[in-house]
């Protein structure tokens, strides 16, 4: 009886995937922080404020 061993090296792909996921996560986190907290437009702040209240999340 013969056994067949197949060895594939995906270490480069794993590193690339982890780096891509990390970069996307950082981008989305900073985008969310900017849109919610630092955006100077009053209506955007008021919209998020109303969404927080409608979901039952107290903010003040």
pLDDT digits (tens, 9 = 90+) for 7-32: 666 677 788 889 999 999 999 998 88
Q: Answer whether 21's CB lies under 8 Å from 15's CB.
A: no
Phi (first) and psi of residue 39, to 5 degrees: -70, 125
pLDDT digits (tens, 9 = 90+) for 31-40: 888 777 766 6
Q: How many Å apart are CA 6 and CA 25, to the nearest integer? A: 34
Residue 45 lies in a domain: yes
Task: Read off the pTM.
Answer: 0.48
Residue 3 lies in a domain: no
Q: Domains in the chain: how many in total?
A: 1
Residue 60 lies in a domain: no
Q: What is the 3-state secondary structure (H, E, C) of 6-31?
A: CCCCCHHHHHHHHHHHHHHHHHHHHH
Residue 1 lies in a domain: no
Domain span at residue 47 reads 8-55
């Amino acid at each position: 009886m013969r056994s067949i061993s197949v060895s594939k090296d995906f270490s480069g792909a794993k590193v690339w995937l982890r780096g891509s996921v990390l970069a996307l996560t950082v981008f989305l986190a900073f985008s969310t922080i900017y849109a919610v907290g630092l955006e100077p437009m009053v209506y955007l702040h008021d919209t998020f404020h109303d969404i927080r209240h409608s979901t039952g999340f107290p903010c003040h």
